[in-house]
Amino acid sequence: MDHIVVANLDKRFVSSDREVIALKGIDLAIARGEFVCLLGPSGCGKSTLLNIIAGFIPPSSGTILMDGAPVSLPGPDRGVVFQEYALFPWMTVAQNIAFGLDTKRMAAQEKEQRVNRLLEKLGLSEFRDRFPRDLSGGMRQRVAIARVLAIDSPVLLMDEPFGALDALTRRNLQDELLRIWRESGKTILFVTHSIEESLYLADRIVVMTYRPGTIKRQQLVDMPHPRDPAGVEFNEIKRELGQLVMEEQQRHVSDEMQLH
């Protein structure tokens, strides 16, 4: 059985003066342990689809199933990592990581062991008593990832988590995420507008069209990790995907010009 199934999903947003069709006819099945990237320009509904799967917003029609059960609300089976870190500024690094465990009936010693293990795994041990304001962007994102890993959700939903980071920090965290994925066997759905990032990470890339968001192509990436961004095969696929995304970006620009 597939881990996540999205069937015939539509999402419409209605305001006082118009209706926007954000997603139309989305059919997507994600296998257990698969790493899937949603790729496309701004306005194609990538984050909307992720938020519907997370249970934060309802679809207008269609269904989302996890392990065969309908998704309607957020739940501990889906951990979400945002671009904005979403850390509590009044909590230390260790307290932020432990926060999700407060809802679980877990002995204090077991909780501390899990937090310590994640601090070590993500290179945060020496920062355990620091506050988010004292950390770099890359370190804050490590804490955000550790907090989601602490609750041990089988599914990770990641919304451009590395988009605001410099290139070197971004690559380091991409490698860290791939290591965690290999070790844990988690199912990952990852939103990005970077073609190179999607190719570096994913088993499969789902290219989305500009509004209304539909699935334009599903690209299997059958290259072993670690992948070489300078490699021939990597760049052949990158060129193909670049053309697909650019077509949608041009539709976006054309749409914006007509509105103004």
| 156-187 pLDDT, tens digit each | 999 999 988 899 999 999 999 999 999 999 99
- Average pLDDT estimate for 207-219: 96
Interatomic CA distance for residues 226 and 241, integer angstroms: 20
Claim to verify: residue 29 and residue 65 sit in the same structural domain? yes
Count the domains in the chain.
Answer: 2
pLDDT value, residue 226: 94
| 100-156 pLDDT, tens digit each | 787 777 788 888 999 999 999 899 999 999 999 999 999 999 999 999 999 899 999
Question: Is residue 73 a part of any domain in this protein?
Answer: yes
Claim to verify: residue 4 and residue 73 sit in the same structural domain? yes
Claim to verify: residue 142 and residue 202 sit in the same structural domain? no
| Residue 17 banded pLDDT, cuts 50, 70, 90 | confident
User: 118-127, 222-231, 247-256: lowest mean pLDDT where?
Assistant: 247-256
Asked if 97 and 129 count as a contact pair (C-beta separation under 8 A), the reply is no
Interatomic CA distance for residues 11 and 57, integer angstroms: 10
Interatomic CA distance for residues 197 and 174, integer angstroms: 8
Beta bridge partners of 61: 10
Claim to verify: residue 143 and residue 87 sit in the same structural domain? yes
pLDDT value, residue 260: 59
Interatomic CA distance for residues 124 and 108, integer angstroms: 20
Residues in the chain: 260
Claim to verify: residue 67 and residue 88 sit in the same structural domain? no
Claim to verify: residue 59 and residue 171 sit in the same structural domain? yes
Claim to verify: residue 1 and residue 119 sit in the same structural domain? no
Q: Three-state SS string across the chain, please?
A: CCCEEEEEEEEEEECCCCEEEEEEEEEEEECCCCEEEEECCCCCCHHHHHHHHHCCCCCCEEEEEECCEECCCCCCCEEEECCCCCCCCCCCHHHHHHHHHHHCCCCHHHHHHHHHHHHHHCCCHHHCCCCHHHCCHHHHHHHHHHHHHHCCCCEEEEECCCCCCCHHHHHHHHHHHHHHHHHHCCEEEEEECCHHHHHHHCCEEEEECCCCECEEEEEECCCCCCCCCCCHHHHHHHHHHHHHHHHHHHHHHHHHHHHC
Question: Is residue 200 a part of any domain in this protein?
Answer: yes
Claim to verify: residue 91 and residue 66 sit in the same structural domain? no
Claim to verify: residue 7 and residue 127 sit in the same structural domain? no
Mean of per-residue pLDDT scores for the chain = 93
pLDDT value, residue 31: 98
CATH number of the domain residue 199 falls in? 3.40.50.300
| Residue 62 banded pLDDT, cuts 50, 70, 90 | very high
| Residue 254 banded pLDDT, cuts 50, 70, 90 | confident
Claim to verify: residue 34 and residue 136 sit in the same structural domain? no
Claim to verify: residue 175 and residue 224 sit in the same structural domain? yes
Question: Is the whole-model pTM more than 0.85?
Answer: yes
Tokens 């992720």 correspond to what residue?
A: 50
- Residues of the domain holding 96: 81-152
